[in-house]
Amino acid sequence: MSSLDVLAEDRIETVPGKPAVCNARIAPKGGLDVLSRAEVARLRDASRGDLYELLRRCALAVLTGGSVNDDPRRLSELYPDFAIRVLQQDRGIKLELDNAPAQAFVDGKIIRGVGEQLFSVVRDIVYTAIEIQESGRFDLRTSEGITNAVFEILRNARLLVPNQDPDLVVCWGGHSIGPEEYDYTKKVGYELGLRELDICTGCGPGAMKGPMKGATIGHAKQRRLRNRYIGITEPGIIASESPNPIVNRLVIMPDIEKRLEAFVRLGHAIVVFPGGVGTAEEILYLLGILTHPANAGIPFPLIFTGPRSAAAYFERIDAFLRLALGEEIARFYEVIIDDPVAVARRTCSGIAAVRDHRIKVKDAFFFNWSLHIPLEFQQPFQPTHEAMAALDLRAGRERHLLAADLRRAFSGLVAGNVKESGIRAIEEHGPFEIRGDPRIMAALDELLASFVAQKRMKLPGQEYVPCYRIVR
């Protein structure tokens, strides 16, 4: 993807105490350069209307890639005059940027990777929103309609690669991890890269960046050139977790539920590193799906791993899962501590089983159609105070249904920690209240307290104010 020079009459402007900004006009190469006049007009009009602020926030996050701040409002405060416009041309589109972060440019040209990610933002926030949400082609009230929409978004982003053996490892984990845990994620990524596996993460910093960074070295040693470093995010998260610069395939899903479905439909194995409430949400999402009777017998490698110092973290996760969902839940995952080589080897053997199963049932390698995802896991959850208080966290429910509500509880905590809407709701109405079975609530309280003590709820150096209150 190429870019045009910053306009000659525009200079990088610096004001004491404020970040440097510049104006630019850039054009894409690939993905958005072959559009009809009608499509370009729709892009232009949508970028001026209701979608503008969403487009602006996501574009600003990309242009400040590498910045890490849990408060999504911080970027808007730093760059209050930033503006983005979609310009219509017969040859396609151009983006006009006013008061854009100068850090995204080198010698008058936008950094190539930043430009690629920026046009991914336009593609997913504007074009895909029109095609998926407004076209009427997809019934987003049904499970089939939602899965078809996820497929279409991923296909439009060119993430579905036919005629290629399973090789995509999804890596989950926290953005707020210490140096030892971060180094460990790089070591695991390196071993996966040596085995010529591609990496998919939530695209942010910490455990989302480390595996990609390690894999780049492993891939380089193997002289593997066509590597995929896929980042999957959603509008409420991207502003506080800007895409890391290694991501070369960025996709912005409309909401957290479609983001999670994209992970499990695309990935052939999942490796989980230490994290916080977001990582717990992801774990509960996948386990809830795997425990559904319709998915019995479908192989899906799931490995929890970290350095020796993270052993206690996974012991707490394991204990909580067993208490809330039953002892048999442990058969769906494996814990490997402080052994990157074992993680990589186990991932490879698991992917081989996935490949054999897909061949047997005649399922695609590039999209896991056979996995049944209940509607409870697909419907967007709006974490209002009322919705959080109404979650049914009683023991004795069907395991996948209890996992679905536990997932929603953690989703609400993610919103209260890092999403602008959630932060404002907490500021206005106080912490969320979570109710349920006394034993589950006690275990949840202990788990969350351990996250706070280990500084996994906010970036290091920031004081954490709980966004929740357990009601027993």
Query: Domain containing 37 — which CATH number?
Result: 3.30.1850.10
113 and 218 share a domain? no
pLDDT, tens digit, 9 for 90 and up, residues 71-92:
556 777 888 899 998 887 666 6
Separation in Å, CA 86 to CA 38, 111, 212, 250, 347: 14, 19, 31, 19, 43
Q: Quick one: 187 and 267 in the same domain? A: yes
Predicted local distance difference test score (pLDDT) of residue 370: 96
Task: Give the end of a domain, one of 119, 153, 186.
Answer: 119
pLDDT, tens digit (0-9, with 9 covering 90-100), for 420-435: 788 888 989 999 999 8
Q: State the residue range of the domain holding 469.
A: 162-472
Q: How far apart are CA 151 and CA 155, in angstroms?
A: 6
How high is the pLDDT of residue 4?
Answer: 39
pLDDT of residue 39: 65
Kindly state whether residue 461 falls inside one of the protein's structural domains.
yes
Q: What is the pLDDT of residue 241?
A: 82
Same domain, 335 and 208: yes
The whole-angstrom separation of Cα 348 and Cα 195 is 8
Residues 331, 261 within the same domain: yes
Average pLDDT score over residue span 339-359: 98
Is there a single domain that holds both residue 257 and residue 401?
Answer: yes
Residues 348 and 462 in one domain: yes
Q: Is the pTM of this model over 0.85?
A: yes
- 393 domain residue, yes or no: yes
131 in any annotated domain: no
Residue 352 has a pLDDT of 98
The verdict on 261 and 395 lying in the same domain is: yes
| 9 domain residue, yes or no | no
Q: Is residue 138 part of a domain?
A: no
Q: What CATH number corresponds to the domain at position 358?
A: 3.40.50.450
Among 88, 119, 150, give the residue marking a domain's end. 119
* 12 in a structural domain: no
Are both 100 and 181 inside the same structural domain?
no
Q: Are residues 232 and 334 in the same domain?
A: yes
For residue 27, pLDDT beyond 50: yes
**pLDDT of 380 strictly over 80:** yes
Tokens read off for 428: 């206005």
Q: Are residues 95 and 211 in the same domain?
A: no
How many domains is the chain partitioned into structurally?
2
Q: Give the pLDDT of residue 71.
A: 59
Confidence of residue 6 (pLDDT cuts 50, 70, 90): very low
472 with 356, same domain: the answer is yes
124 domain-assigned: no
In the structure, what pLDDT confidence band is assigned to residue 298 with cuts at 50, 70 and 90?
very high
In a domain, 62, yes or no: yes
Same-domain pairing of 385 and 326: yes
Q: What is the mean pLDDT of residues 82-110?
A: 85
